[in-house]
Amino acid sequence: MIAIAIGAIFMGGMAAIIGPALIESGQAGKVQVASTNAQSLLNNVRVWSEGNWNNVLSLATGSTYQYYLITSSSPYTATSGVWSIVIATNTYTTYFYLVDAYRDSVGNMTTASTGNTYDPSTKQIFSVYNWTHGVTGTISTYITRNNNAVFYQTDWSGGANPDGVATSAASQFANSSNIDYSITGSLSVSTQGGDSSTQESETSSSGQNVWVTDDDNNRIEEFSVAGAYIGQFGSGATLGEPDGIAVDSGDNFWIANAYDPSITEYSPAGAYLGVFGSGGSGNGQFNNPGDIAFDANGNMWVVDEGNYRVQEFSASGATYTYASKFGSKGTGNGKFSDPVAVAIDAAGNIWVADAGSTAATTRVEEFTASGTTYVYASKFSAYHGSWGYATPGGLAFDADGNIWMTDSYKDIVEEFSGTGTYIGQFGSSGSGDGQFDGPGNLAIDSGGNIWVTDIGNSRVQEFSATGTYEGQFGSNGSGDGQFSGSYSPGAILIY
């Protein structure tokens, strides 16, 4: 058995992103290596097309036109040919090709051209993989360009101004037909894939995946929105009980390490890039850093739990440097007893959940900009109803500006208005579907679905925007797709 840890391997100008820990052992191991190569290529094509739809539209279509991506450049570039890598004695190859999409008379998607209308906003992408003495496998994905709302996309043919505001109803679709504009997010993806030994399928309304911190195993695990394990990155050498996760505008991941007080950066493919911060109470130092959030200007905000504050860091080259802070230990306005979560609303105001020990100190506080710093603006209590206690754990804003908060003491998820008025809740104590044993963090996807880490049950649960249980994944352990630790699964990111 050969265990290989590969981040970005450069061959022939291409950075092959094939996962941080692949095991080549027998036929199943070779399938894992090959299919992970293909999935990584498919993911990179998705990122590349999202950056500029004309990238995809300008390529020739059909299975005879084979391409791979040079990801060492920024932005990525496509080149003709097949990419390969040798591991042990096996040569693994992968490439992608495009197929045109069409719409029938009622708007259904098809790849048959006869009698149907060409849709320049949609392509089917095939990622093909093989290895020495192995079978050929294919993963295919439909990608639709909808730019978050179709009404802001005026030229679906990829012209000079594909992101301009629509000026008339006729220009809203231009040359395309029946784009599903109800879907939020930049891409609409439907994936079906498999090989000779396995078959799998998944559907996502946004092309997003789920990223979860796993503290005892010192890793970040990636899942599809269908709950299928995709991969992981991180190790004890680069992470120290990860407790917060966020992604910047360059698609890099930033992880807060609670045990080793610092913030670690990884590339979009999971390659280690660097770290900043150290233990202490000085500016830019940490004592149990936790939740992380980025504002619209690209500034990073970190909950520094043990120092009873929130710190701001601004981009400085390839890393971030200390910029400001607010908060101190106490029970008064603008002070914290136990800050645990941070979220930023559409107006740029910063909200912090404070897990105090009394009704007065268990609260969510709002801070607004004042010059170069942030000052206390308002608060609302995390207490309500007949319960005599509450323990907030995670915060998130939905598209309507409402605040969702986990409460690990009552084993519920609560909804509040943007001004802190209680709206409702879902969940109860237990291990059944929709129940919780210490809900930790939460995230809301582009479709409004709510994803909650259920720490005591070692799983992640998905709920609709109205709190209806929809599914789950995860179990206790250290294997792929499992979680281990007193705070695991911990932080969650939908991206």
The DSSP annotation for 290-350 comes to: EEEEE-TTS-EEEEEGGGTEEEEEEEETTEEEEEEEE--BSSSTT-BSSEEEEEE-TTS-E
Q: 137: domain range? A: 2-204
Count of structural domains, the chain? 2
Give 75 or 346, the one with higher predicted confidence: 346
* Residue 307 in this model has a pLDDT that exceeds 90: yes
pLDDT at 385: 57
Residues 246 and 144 in one domain: no
Closest by Cα among 345, 487, 479, 484 to 408: 487
Give 382 or 335, the one with higher predicted confidence: 335
- Range 246-271 average pLDDT: 92
Percent of the chain at pLDDT exceeding 90: 49
Residues 169 and 236 in one domain: no
The residue from 204, 220, 255 where one domain ends is 204
Distances (CA, A) of 164 to 72, 77, 297, 474: 30, 24, 22, 42
Q: How many residues does the chain have?
A: 495
Of the ranges 107-121, 278-292, 352-366, which is most confident?
278-292
Long-range Cβ contacts of 163-166 (<8 Å, 24+ apart): none
* Residue 146 in this model has a pLDDT that exceeds 60: no
Instruction: State the amino acid at position 290 in one-letter form.
Output: G
Of the candidate ranges 19-33, 270-284, 331-345, the one whose mean pLDDT is the lowest? 19-33
Closest by Cα among 266, 362, 365 to 310: 365
- Range 267-277 average pLDDT: 92
The number of angstroms, rounded, from the C-alpha of 224 to the middle of its chain's C-alpha atoms is 10
Average pLDDT, the chain: 79
Identify the DSSP state of 252: -
User: Which segments of 195-282 are extended strands (E)?
Assistant: 199-204, 209-214, 219-224, 229-233, 242-247, 253-257, 262-266, 272-276
* Residue 109 in this model has a pLDDT that exceeds 70: no
Residue 56 in contact with residue 36, Cβ under 8 Å?
A: no
- Range 371-388 average pLDDT: 80
- Range 187-202 average pLDDT: 27
Residues 264 and 281 in one domain: yes
Residue 110: CA count within 13 A, CB half-sphere: 12
pLDDT at 162: 36
Q: How far apart are CA 51 and CA 160, in angstroms?
A: 14
Distances (CA, A) of 325 to 246, 249, 285, 350, 367: 19, 22, 11, 12, 11
Alpha helix segments (H runs only) across 375-478: none
- Range 414-441 average pLDDT: 94
pLDDT, tens digit (0-9, with 9 covering 90-100), for 18-37: 333 344 445 556 676 777 78
pLDDT, tens digit (0-9, with 9 covering 90-100), for 462-472: 999 999 999 99
Residues 372 and 421 in one domain: yes
Residues 260 and 114 in one domain: no
* Residue 141 in this model has a pLDDT that exceeds 80: no
The residue from 188, 204, 220 where one domain ends is 204
pLDDT at 35: 76
Residues 198 and 214 in one domain: no
pLDDT, tens digit (0-9, with 9 covering 90-100), for 60-76: 999 999 999 988 877 78
